[in-house]
Structure formats: C-alpha cells, structure tokens
Amino acid sequence: MATPPAETGPTSVESHLAEILAAIRPLPPVMSGLAETEGCVLAEDVTASTPLPSFDNSAMDGYAVQARDLEGATDAAPVTLPVTGEIAAGDTASYKVTPECCVRIMTGALLPAGADAVVPVELTDGGTSRVAFRQPVAPGAAIRRRGDDVAKGDVLLTAGTGIGSVELALLAAAGVGSALVRPRPRMAVISTGNELAEPGTPIIPGRIWESNSFMLAAAARQAGAVAHRHRISDDPAGVLAAIDEQLPRADLLVTTGGVSMGGEHDVVKAALAALGTVTFRKVAMQPGMPQGFGTVGPRQTPIFTLPGNPVSAYVSFQIFVRPALRSLQGLPPQRFSSLRAVLAGAVRSPQGRRSFLRGILDADEGTVTPLTGQASHQLGALAQANVLIIVPEQVVTMDVGDPAEVVRLP
C-alpha cells in the first residue's frame, strides 16, 4: 500500500479529531459476570425481573403493630402491648401480628402478616416481653413496600451507562448475575528514546528518567481503559517488533516520541511510514503540533503517535486519545466539560495555533490564573494545573479580565 501523501499545511484540531473518530469502531459487546462489569459500559438495557424490594419489610429496628391499637397513646397514658415474637433480618418463618399484640422486628426483616406499621424502638421503652408505646402511629409507617423502589419490568439501567459503584450495587440488588457490556479498552503505551532510563535507576548527564508511559497509562486508566506501559530504544525495527508484540492484547496503541517533523532520529515515523496506514501531520495546536494516527495489524488497531515532550503528550492524550477511548466503549466522544472564566493574568499564543495553556481555576471567584512554565517539557506546572486555558487560533494575546474558555483536567 502506498504511503499517504504528506499534508502541506497544519491541520485543524477538529479535522484531526474527526478523522480519528471516523476510524474508531466500538468494541464488540461481551457477556460478563457481574464482578467483571465494573468500569464497562452496558450494551443493552437491563430490566428488573423482580420488584425491589421483593417483599414488604421493616425500615427500622422496632415493633410491628396494628396501627389502630395505638390510637390515643400519650406519654401520660401509654399503650402497653405484649411482645409475641421477634423477627431478625433473613428469618423466613411465618409470623403474624394479632390485635392488641406486637412483634419485635429488625431492619430489613419480612413484615409479619396482620401488621400495618412499624414503631421505631427509640419511640418505646424497649421492652422484650411487654412494650409501652407513648404516641400513635400512622398506617404504613416505617415499612418498605414491595416494589416501592423498582417495579418488575422497570428499566434498571439503559444501554450506554457506565458501570460504577452505584450501578454495580443496583444490578446486584436486582439479582443480575451477568450483563452484556462493552469491555474496558485495552491500551498499550510504548515510549521510545535512547535517552530514557527507568525511574529508580541511576542516570548520567544526557539521560532522563522516563515519565510519559507512566503518565499516559495512568491517564488511560482514569479514562476507563486497562493500560500497560513499555519502554524501548530508538530503533525502527524495535518499534515494529514492540507494536507486533502488543497487537494481540491491545485495542488501541499509543507511542510517544520519535515523531518530530524532520528529525533524523524520528524512529516511530520511520518505522510506521512504510506501512502506508499511518498519517503524520502538523496539527495547528500548541503544545502537541506533531501528530500521527492510523491503524495497524490484521484487526486495524488504532494507533496514535504522540510527541515525546511530556506536556505535549498529555495534552494530545486529552484532546485526541480520550475521545477515542470513549468511542471504543460506544459512548459519545465528548472531550471534557468546558466553561468560561475570567483571566487573572495575560497570555500569549502563536498566530494560527490553538494553545492549551496550563492554569489554576478558582471556581468560586470564576477566575483562572495562567501558570508560569508553559514549555512543553515542564511537568511541574502541569502538576499544579486543574484546567487548560484555550486560546483560539486567531488570537495572539489575551489580557487580564478577558473571558476565556477553560476545560477541567481529570
């Protein structure tokens, strides 16, 4: 296959993202056991096969009564009833409340026949054989009725819902043992560079500790993926070998480094260009101008080639890779929520590029302060930032007091 023609001018952020999303196909759904659905996205609606709760039960520790027996009860003239039994949660035996009697009952226990109310123990003298009630009770008090949470046949969760802690609890409470889901995407991060050393090992001048793969794998996990990292040296054959090795266990590949425009050591670009399935281009943004995207392998696995500078790689992930991960799970490819804030400091941006500047948002004041240290290698400022400040392509300066669009960082 021929190598795609090189583009002559910078591509817009929107155009590059649109090309990416057009190539992404949602992962096929799989039936998974309940415990394995955490972090996945439902591929079909889940309906309740039984009401929730499935039986009338007590909402409190107390006494199951017939409400009419407590009419007229006061502190001065309490009503005293004999206790004819005790029902613990999980007790499946049959009990009955007869007139002018009561049954001690625990929270969640099956409501006995004949009872139409529960009196909390703290509103009584707590007796075990006889108990005094000092106020009346309304029928239905402290009772959880069958189906008052969910009726049989109700939709518990709709297709496209991400399964988190509460969703998992609802499915479990409804007795759902498995569900059809789109699984968490598997992402492999391959970081290239002869200068890279593993953190925790000694280095000498000219070497740096590798951070991109840690950062991008963590960002992917925050975005709902299963991610693993790999570090390789600057060698085109090694790049292809690493990609081939990861293809069977990755739904998406990300490389970082080796894609600058015109560098003689651009090993990722050199390795992938011959395949004819990956396009390398300049995107009109800062940081992160050199980008590559395409597909590789028999399953046409999407691959992103991101810049090597850490801030460039991180911004590129948020703008391009995160939406792709959402698309793999069948979700709308939203980037992240944006809002308006007033600049607390002036900013500059190159003509013709959309800048993503690091800033600190004060949500209470509605202001955003640009950080010093906006270079693409400066992780210190990125670690302080909670937003990216967007400066449009046609704008070169923005002053204190100007409104700006900002996007929250995860």
Q: How far apart are CA 69 and CA 131, in angstroms?
A: 13
Quick: pLDDT tens for 247-275. Answer: 999 999 999 987 775 555 688 888 888 78
Residue 180 near residue 40, CB atoms below 8 Å: no
Q: How far apart are CA 325 and CA 116, in angstroms?
A: 52
So where are the chain's domains?
Answer: 13-27+183-328, 31-52+148-182, 57-144, 338-408
Quick: pLDDT tens for 62-76. Answer: 999 999 999 999 999
Written out in words, the top-level CATH class of the domain with range 338-408 is: mainly beta
| Architecture of the domain spanning 57-144 | Beta Complex (2.170)
Confidence at 335, pLDDT banded by 50, 70, 90: low
Quick: pLDDT tens for 75-89. Answer: 999 999 999 999 999
Tokens of 341: 């804030």
Q: How far apart are CA 400 and CA 345, in angstroms?
A: 5
Q: How far apart are CA 154 and CA 234, in angstroms?
A: 57
Q: How many CB atoms lie within 10 A of CB 335?
A: 13
pLDDT of residue 147: 97
The secondary structure of 61-117 as a DSSP string is: SEEEE-GGGGTT--SSS-EEEEEEEEE-TT--S--BPPTT-EEEE-TTPBPPBT--E
Residue 103 near residue 83, CB atoms below 8 Å: yes
Tokens of 145: 């009725």
CA angle in degrees (0–180, nearest 5) for 216-392-379: 30
Q: How far apart are CA 282 and CA 101, in angstroms?
A: 82
The CATH number of the structural domain formed by 13-27+183-328 is 3.40.980.10
Residue 52 forms beta bridges with which residues? 150
pLDDT of residue 7 exceeding 50, the answer is: no
Q: How far apart are CA 299 and CA 278, in angstroms?
A: 14
pLDDT of residue 109: 98
Q: Is 210 exposed, middle or buried (0-12, 13-18, 19+ CB in 10 A)?
A: buried
Three-class DSSP category at 186 = strand
Q: How far apart are CA 271 and CA 239, in angstroms?
A: 7
Q: How far apart are CA 58 and CA 385, in angstroms?
A: 50
Quick: pLDDT tens for 343-374. Answer: 999 999 999 999 999 999 999 999 999 999 89
User: How long is the chain?
Assistant: 410
Residue 186 forms beta bridges with which residues? 226
Superfamily of domain 31-52+148-182: Molybdopterin biosynthesis moea protein, domain 2 (3.90.105.10)
Q: How far apart are CA 106 and CA 91, in angstroms?
A: 10
